[in-house]
Structure 1
Amino acid sequence: MNTTYIYKKANSILGFAFIIISMVSCQDYLEEQPSTLIDSNYVYTTEEGLKSGVVSLYKFNRDRYDQRTEDYMGAVLLSSRSDLTFSRSGYTGLMGRYERGVSPIDYGTELVSSLFWKHYYNITNKATDIINAAEVVDNIDEDTRNQIIAEAKFFRAQSYFFLYRMYNNIYVTTESVTVDNAFNVIENKSSKEEIFALLNSDLNFAIEHLDWNVNFGRVSKGTAKHIKAKVAMWQGDWLEAKEQALSVIEDPESPHSLVSSTADVFKGDLNNSEQLFVIQSQDDVLGGGDATMMNANYVTQYFQISGINSDIEQGGRGFSRVLPNLYLLNLLAEDPNDTRDDNTYFRLKYYYNTGDNIGDEIDIYKPITDLDNPSDTYTRYYQRLHPSCIKFAQEDDDPNSYTQRSNILVYRLAETYLIAAEAILRSSGDALPYINAIRTRANAAPLTSVTMQDILDENARELAFEGERWFTLKRMGADVLNNQMINFSGDGEYYPNYFGGSKDPRINWKDHYINFPIFQEDLDLLGASYPQNTGY
């Protein structure tokens, strides 16, 4: 590790101590301490400090969503790079169309470095410091010690797993930076075996020592088992994935179950039986949170039309950055009874709510439906009447603001069901009950047989815009990822302004985009032989 890294590490420790100062007074299990007593020694040598350190990990984990960078790109980037989206405008559009973030030196890659590479390494460093300190601290109850370590190990595993899925060429460590190792240079990436050994070790510990029932907003045994199932899927360990997923779904002690209707999944503060992990922003819990433009990125500008004001029921106030594409909309339309396009996950139609036409559907702009007779208002349609994802619009949001302070659902049981279905299909057993549980909840007709394409399609209908689609395609292999991106991303001929040119994601997609480029500045901080991802 070079001197630049040491400087950043020192600033990181100071920043960590500052965050702890702000965390202490909001925790029920902590007594208030004068800020002059709270330093890195307090954080790493006392039970109260270590507990506060764990709370700070929740805050750092949320930072990716809270950062204002290019209209909160950290919250929406992975949804914009998908076979399910049309990336219309703004910097998220440039990223989603593969015009930026495609070389080690461009500005988009620099942003991704800040929002993901540096972000998750920051969390792994802090989690490792907490783990190593908690393992040796005196005068602490063993159950409390294990609880602290378990939460920290969960965040370390989640962060390394995220980095691996984005970048592939990553390094992992369980050592804290000390005077003795500060000048060590990282010459090579960690092997796949090393990465997964650490992920599984950390998650096994978390599963053993976390409880099923926890305070809303904290990670639980179910959260850890869910991530363990996802890790197993990346290893091709179908039996392990099946075991962990079915445990979350069926264990008698598991408090998790699918909510009764799609209308209830994203309702209220998200504290329901389906949630496995919710980032706290709406309520002042675990350090609070900031307003974001996550929802605004996904909602069209219908309120620019005379006779309709922005309202939460119709999606709130948006600016048409990242929209569901025709491929996704056609999947949703395959079953006319499917409720996921019925103003629960997506809004397809908009209605006048002021003036003389209250209640009438707005249809003044038309998409292209006939390539031989194209609409002359299709660009306005994409700006102002295009279907929107409304998963992140909550009832108490301000309809007149682009920024909202709402909780964010990160992991939920519907994904666990789909993991179980795929793992069973790839190993042994009957996958139908698990995929049909998702379809039945959405009022879609149950399947009588199931294929991998069925699972991929159901994943799209259920989990679109939740940030996991790109990872799912990558896990299924380069052939699947390339096929989906080349054939379905964007809207092709139905948006001629982008078709076939520099703004067409199907044209811009390259095979080596399966891994994000490592920003050159980050690569320069590593050893001279550390490998850039292939193709960059």
Structure 2
Amino acid sequence: MLLSSCEDDFLEKEPYASVPIGSAITTTEEMQAAMNGVYASLRTFETFGRNIPVLGDLLADNTFIAPTNSGRYLNQNNFTLTASSAEPTEMWNNLYETILRANTVINAELPNADADVVNQLTGEAYAVRALAYHELVKFFATPYTVDPSAPGVPIVTVYEQNAEPARSSVQQVYEQIIADYAKAYDLMEAGAAEDASYMSKYAARALQARTYLFMGDYENAKAAALDVVTNSGYKLVTAANYVSYWKNPTPVSNMDETIFEVSIDAIDNNGSNALANIYDQGGYGDILATTDLYNTYTEGDVRLGVILVGERGNVKPAYIVNKYSNRTNPSDKDDIKVIRYSEVLLILAEAYARTGEEDKALEILNMLVVERGVAPYTSTGEQLIQDILVERRKELAFEGHRYWTLSRLNMPIARTDQQPASARLIPVDDPRRIQPIPQGEIDANPNVVQNDGY
């Protein structure tokens, strides 16, 4: 993770260790341990370990809860959340814990330590803090492209035990996110991460491109994504290796596809709450892909290799998600892909298309789809943008992105499938498209106001 010029002992990380929250960090070893604790906080099933990737598809039109189920995510499936629902509360609390841990690293003062090591670790902490804030403002606030002046989430950058911060505006939260990614990018050196389970310079830049896309700032999204494509050294996983890429249970270190992932292994994993368990028919197997999504793929598309056709109760055929196939792996589990190179290409293609550079948009889009076994596109204008969005849906399915595409573009959610309980049209002004602020937070902090409709 650290710079190649650093001493070897700094590269030998004690896994998942962390200093106690609130304790002073006095050495680079303690700073490293604290940063390991930051990464560990991302693994929980309440956030990236399951809820975030699941809900980004389930709240949209990519997946639904089968009639035979374990009772999980029914409120999300039916859009019947309340301020006391478990998942929003768990997500809010865990993401703010991640921010607390990141702040501990960011605010550490080590004037006599190796500056390269301190800069690298501080940069990683800035990037993770930005990632956590982006998830919070996505789930709990109005999309930036709809109303940047709407209430966002509280911004906390220093530890104050008795603080009662109010909700900053959506715009202020996005400004904080962009600034954090910029600091991360400036502090970290290229090539510093030993594998994709650690934040790197170009992971921060890729995530910043995503943030600009969510803001509708296509010029800056284009610049950030192009920087990654031109300078980072990442590359697409090939068609021949696509399915095996998803079966790989260990962090990627060859710069194929994965830019940043949350590491899950035999020691630190979510057990029965693992992401694979909610899809695997040998586990809970509650969540199936919709027929509508399945029908967007064409014959020869290698991405069909991670969707199985089977049965689930009276659902026949049932389209079973197999992107996470390591439920029973005795030594490792599925890492959670937070951002991949293919997403960066899709960001760049969309940004080109929306800023009048259609030839470049087509070039980037076809770079991806040809590797996935899809015929090259020749479209222009609005059809080109729609084609990019369709490929975005297909490429990033079951990774938690579809809902946010519909949200940032202020589009209704048309959920049609063979299960009447899941089929409905969710308009753009439905208040339950935004998660409720947890009731416990409202009760504890009089300066936090609830979202409309709860």
- Secondary structure of the residue aligned to 1:347 is strand
Question: Are the equivalent residues in 2 in contact too, given 1:98–1:505 (CA < 8 A)?
Answer: no
Which residue number in structure 1 is paired with residue 78 of structure 2?
Answer: 98
Equivalences for 1:113-128 in 2 at 5 Å?
A: 113-114=89-90, 116-128=91-103
Q: Residues 290-309 of structure 1, C-alpha deviation per residue, up to 9 Å, x if partnerless? A: 43432232234xxxxxxxxx
Question: Are the equivalent residues in 2 in contact too, given 1:80–1:92 (CA < 8 A)?
Answer: no
- Secondary structure of the residue aligned to 1:45 is coil
Are residue 50 (structure 1) and residue 63 (structure 2) matched?
Answer: no
- Give the superposition deviation at 1:433: 1.3
The 1:505–1:517 alpha-carbon spacing in structure 2 relative to 1, beyond 3 Å, is: farther
Which residue number in structure 1 is paired with residue 453 of structure 2?
Answer: 535
Are residue 386 (structure 1) and residue 318 (structure 2) matched?
Answer: yes
Equivalences for 1:78-477 in 2 at 5 Å?
A: 78-88=56-66, 89-100=69-80, 102-105=81-84, 109-114=85-90, 116-133=91-108, 136-168=109-141, 169-177=152-160, 182-186=161-165, 188-213=166-191, 214-216=193-195, 217-251=197-231, 254-261=232-239, 262-268=242-248, 269=250, 271=252, 272=254, 273-282=256-265, 288-291=268-271, 292-300=273-281, 317-332=282-297, 335-341=298-304, 343=305, 345-348=306-309, 379-382=313-316, 386-394=318-326, 398=328, 405-429=333-357, 430-450=360-380, 451-477=384-410
Give the partner amino acid of 1:143: D
Distance 1:224 1:30 in 2: 21
Question: Are the equivalent residues in 2 in contact too, given 1:66–1:290 (CA < 8 A)?
Answer: no
- Give the superposition deviation at 1:243: 1.1
Q: How large is the Cα RMSD of the aligned pairs?
A: 3.0
Give the partner amino acid of 1:245: A
Question: Are the equivalent residues in 1 in contact too, given 2:442–2:450 (CA < 8 A)?
Answer: yes
The 1:431–1:38 alpha-carbon spacing in structure 2 relative to 1, beyond 3 Å, is: closer
- Give the superposition deviation at 1:524: 1.5
Give the partner amino acid of 1:61: L
Question: Are the equivalent residues in 1 in contact too, given 2:128–2:199 (CA < 8 A)?
Answer: no
Give the partner amino acid of 1:94: L
Percentage of pairs with the same residue: 25
The structure where helix makes up a greater share of residues is 1
Distance 1:83 1:66 in 2: 21
Can you give the 5+ residue segments of structure 2 that lack an aligned partner in the other structure? Answer: 1-8, 142-151
The 1:442–1:532 alpha-carbon spacing in structure 2 relative to 1, beyond 3 Å, is: same
- Secondary structure of the residue aligned to 1:44 is coil
Distance 1:39 1:387 in 2: 45
- Give the superposition deviation at 1:289: 3.4
- Give the superposition deviation at 1:452: 2.3
- Secondary structure of the residue aligned to 1:103 is coil
